[in-house]
Amino acid sequence: MNVRPNISIINALIRITIGLTILSWTTSKLVKHPWRDSYLFVAMCGAMKVAEGIVRFCPLTALFEKCQCMISEHDQAMDSMDGMEGLTNQNGEEMLPYNPT
């Protein structure tokens, strides 16, 4: 898998700052209440944000961009069928009915 940066430097700095803030908050909460698993989960989310900022790669952003690319390719394929409204088969019936939407 080719991991290329897909977030900007400003976005990366914001992610690092917010991630470190979340990590420091959850660390202080875990000192008082070490039996709470929810603080551990939030700490892992904060660490993930710090890692995304350092590497400048966000898997959710990559997934969103990939889905957008697939949707645009589908739209281009549908646009390439424009102009085929009047095609008829051997019996004289329209193959693709015209639907002006």
Tell me the per-residue pLDDT of 14-54, one tens digit each, with 9 for 90 and over. Answer: 999 999 999 999 999 999 998 888 999 999 999 999 999 99
Mean pLDDT of the chain: 82
Please tell me what DSSP assigns to residue 80.
T
Contact 55, 7 (CB under 8 A): no
pTM of the model: 0.65
Among 72, 73, 49, residue whose Cα is nearest residue 61: 49
DSSP string, 25-36: HHHHHHHH-TT-
Tell me the per-residue pLDDT of 61-97, one tens digit each, with 9 for 90 and over. Answer: 888 888 888 877 766 666 555 555 555 666 766 655 5
